[in-house]
């Protein structure tokens, strides 16, 4: 290319999760033909910059008024802040992530004359556990915002089909691109991973089976159901320990629930860099969400070849095949969650079968294909 293509990735917050990993993966692999800027609202650039592993310079820009929660005063200011930022920098492409950034930045980008506006829907917001009025409102906002976007990328077939059924936009604007996945660091061996985790919680390793997850602690992640299941499992079994790696707005409420239920073997380890390295310490990885797009941690758990229990969500059915490479349960149903966990704990032959089948769905998440399709959208 004779001239570099100027790309701006826009996200509401830097707290590291799936959308943030998506941005870093793209930034690390576009190559020298692109100039990359990451514009963000809440948080700080170091939360993302520590995952940037490229020789191509990546510029960060903090948006003063872009906030995660709805606030009409700040949202108006954010709209104009984005407009002037886009107008000044004359980006060739802006790529938007999260519902708030996707809505405000698409309008600002169109007003600023940006030629190509791309939005990745990391799970539709109207799939969340909302009341009827909010679902209608968020569906309307996605439809309205779609008018200002040139391409909407869906990360799962379910999200793509839902966009069509809800008439979010015309089919020509939609594209299904699965998240690409590559192992950037090796998993620690089981004993080494266990040693690290037990050192973190400062208790001796007495051979307990670890059940847990790596997750941001948001309401949609359903960690309270894992806590409730721990209470029941402890009454039926011994030699279990529960570990949650991650942080978020629900952390205080979740810790209070653990105290209320008097669960002594449930531990929150907070945010740990490259936490997936320790997955082989888990006997069972749980994903108890009530809404998901296409979570990287679930794919990482497959690569780690450990037992998996996850919510029976349509988007997750593209990763976990019930009884073949994991066990699914009805979302928000603690009784069914306990049964799913026990089905792995109580049946060694079944456990071996699902671990041996963990490569059944991984081919669709080929990293090279993912980057190639993203580049194609930036340059065509």
Whole-prediction pTM: 0.80
**Backbone CA torsion sign across 271, 272, 276, 282:** negative
User: Are 154 and 242 in the same domain?
Assistant: no
Is there a domain that residue 114 lies in?
yes
Question: CA angle at residue 120 from 116 to 126, to 5 degrees?
Answer: 125
pLDDT digits (tens, 9 = 90+) for 142-167: 999 999 999 999 998 989 999 999 99
User: Are 44 and 154 in the same domain?
Assistant: yes
- What is the helix (H) or strand (E) element at residue 87, kind and residue range? helix 72-89
Q: Give the whole-angstrom CA distance, residue 155 versus residue 55.
A: 27
Strands (DSSP E) contained in 263-330 are 266-270, 282-287, 307-311, 327-329
User: Are 271 and 227 in the same domain?
Assistant: yes
pLDDT of residue 267: 98
Query: Which domain range does residue 156 map to?
Result: 5-176
Q: How many domains does the chain have?
A: 2
Residue 112: burial class (beta carbons within 10 Å; 0-12, 13-18, 19+): buried
Q: Which of 176, 205, 235 is the last residue of a domain?
A: 176
Q: Give the whole-angstrom CA distance, residue 242 versus residue 187.
A: 20
Is there a domain that residue 372 lies in?
no
Q: Return the CATH number at 56.
A: 3.40.50.2000
pLDDT of residue 95: 98
Which residues, listed in sequence order, are joined to residue 8 by a DSSP beta bridge? 37, 94
pLDDT of residue 2: 59
pLDDT of residue 101: 93
Could you say which residues of the chain have pLDDT below 70?
A: 1-2, 129, 184
Per the listing, tokens 């990360």 go with: 155
User: Are 124 and 230 in the same domain?
Assistant: no
pLDDT of residue 57: 87
User: Are 158 and 208 in the same domain?
Assistant: no
Is there a domain that residue 182 lies in?
no
The set of residues, in sequence order, having a beta carbon less than 8 Å from that of 172 and lying 6+ positions away, is none
User: Are 158 and 231 in the same domain?
Assistant: no
User: Are 142 and 255 in the same domain?
Assistant: no
User: Are 172 and 196 in the same domain?
Assistant: no
Is there a domain that residue 369 lies in?
no
pLDDT of residue 211: 97
């Amino acid at each position: 290319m004779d001239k570099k293509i100027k790309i701006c990735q826009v996200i509401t917050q830097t707290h590291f999760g799936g959308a943030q990993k998506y941005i870093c993966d793209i930034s690390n692999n576009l190559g020298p033909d692109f100039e990359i800027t990451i514009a963000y609202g809440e948080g700080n650039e170091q939360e993302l910059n520590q995952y940037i592993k490229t020789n191509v310079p990546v510029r960060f820009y903090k948006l003063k008024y872009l906030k995660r929660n709805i606030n009409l005063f700040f949202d108006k200011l954010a709209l104009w802040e984005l407009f002037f930022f886009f107008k000044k920098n004359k980006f060739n492409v802006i790529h938007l992530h999260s519902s708030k950034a996707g809505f405000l930045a698409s309008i600002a980008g169109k007003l600023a004359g940006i030629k190509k506006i791309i939005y990745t829907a990391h799970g539709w917001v109207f799939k969340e556990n909302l009341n009827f009025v909010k679902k209608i409102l968020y569906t309307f906002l996605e439809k309205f915002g779609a008018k200002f976007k040139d391409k909407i990328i869906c990360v799962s077939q379910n999200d793509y089909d839902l966009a069509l059924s809800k008439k979010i936009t015309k089919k020509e604007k939609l594209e299904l691109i699965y998240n690409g996945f590559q192992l950037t660091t090796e998993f620690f061996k089981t004993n080494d991973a266990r040693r690290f985790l037990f050192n973190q919680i400062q208790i001796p390793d007495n051979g307990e089976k670890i059940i847990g997850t790596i997750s941001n602690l948001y309401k949609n992640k359903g960690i309270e159901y894992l806590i409730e299941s721990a209470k029941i499992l402890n009454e039926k079994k011994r030699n279990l320990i529960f570990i949650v790696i991650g942080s978020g707005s629900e952390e205080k409420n979740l810790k209070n629930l653990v105290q209320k239920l008097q669960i002594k073997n449930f531990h929150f380890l907070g945010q740990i860099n490259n936490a997936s390295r320790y997955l082989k310490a888990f006997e069972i990885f749980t994903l108890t969400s009530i809404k998901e797009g296409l979570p990287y941690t679930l794919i990482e758990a497959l690569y780690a070849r450990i037992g998996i229990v996850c919510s029976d969500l349509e988007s997750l059915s593209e990763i976990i095949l019930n009884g073949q490479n994991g066990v699914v349960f009805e979302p928000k149903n603690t009784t069914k969650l306990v049964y799913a966990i026990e089905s792995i704990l109580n049946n060694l032959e079944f456990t071996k079968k699902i671990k041996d089948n963990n490569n059944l769905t991984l081919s669709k998440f080929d990293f090279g294909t993912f980057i190639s399709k993203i580049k194609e959208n930036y340059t065509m």
